[in-house]
Amino acid sequence: MNDFFRSLASFLKGTAGAVTVDYVVLTAAATGVAVASSDVVRDGLRALAATVNSESTGEEIDDPANVGRVYRESFANGAPGWEGGDTIEIDGRMSLGPIGGGEGGESMRREFLLEDGLPYTTIDFNMFAMDSLDDESGYIYLGGQIVGEVRKNADETVFIDYDIPGVEITGTIVQDREAIGGQSGADRWWRDSEIAVSIKYNRPDPHLTLGFGSNADQASHDEFFAVQDIVVTGLHDPDAE
């Protein structure tokens, strides 16, 4: 009998089983945390995948933070879908351009279908005024109508709002009189400018045409405009039908 009690006492004092129980509890807790965070990780990966896809293809994509679809274009793979569109490298990145004068008017354009029921659409991009522009302008078109203008005259760069009903547009100068990537001359006359443009469009028509043009009067290797990083929100989502 004494042997039995000695064995029982030894078992009750043992700690090996407690360690096993601790690991079981810790493993269960880790599993619970993993399950609880899976939705967050999944949504984050979807958002990252959407960003990578848009940067590499310039296509319309679903965006978890927006209703409908969002168009993002870095022009890394050309200018797909842009009528008259071509690409040019500025400051190490691809851009829509060169937008030269030629016969004037809207020289590059793309049409978008907007989502019904949304109050407005937003459009954002950066516009570059390059080289020896002397009182010449780059124009922004919506639906074939000029809604804004970037005017550069040697050392002066200004943004002009055309006050079109239903269109709120702003232009903020990011860089001015800098050697961004055009002519390399030391004369400030040849220096370049970058303007961040933001548009809020109150959507009178479900078909939106965004376009660009200029009245530059020299060849594009002397002076031109260009556009970089276009983002358009509130586009029609065919998957929602």
| DSSP helix/strand/coil, 46 | helix
Report which of 57, 38, 56 is spatially closest to residue 46, judged by C-alpha positions: 38
Q: How far apart are CA 168 and CA 202, in angstroms?
A: 8
Residue 166, CB-side half-sphere exposure with 13 Å CA sphere? 12
What is the predicted pLDDT for the residue at 82? 97
Tell me which of 19 and 182 has the higher pLDDT: 182
- Give per-residue pLDDT as tens, 64-116: 445 568 999 999 999 999 999 999 999 889 999 999 876 668 999 999 999 98
What is the predicted pLDDT for the residue at 43? 43
Q: Is the pLDDT of residue 143 over 80?
A: yes
**Residue 129: phi, psi to the nearest 5?**
-110, 115
Beta carbons within 8 Å of 147's beta carbon, 6+ residues apart = 140, 141, 161, 162, 164, 167, 169, 199
> Which of 8-12, 42-46, 65-69, 159-163 ranks highest by mean pLDDT?
159-163
Confidence (pTM): 0.72
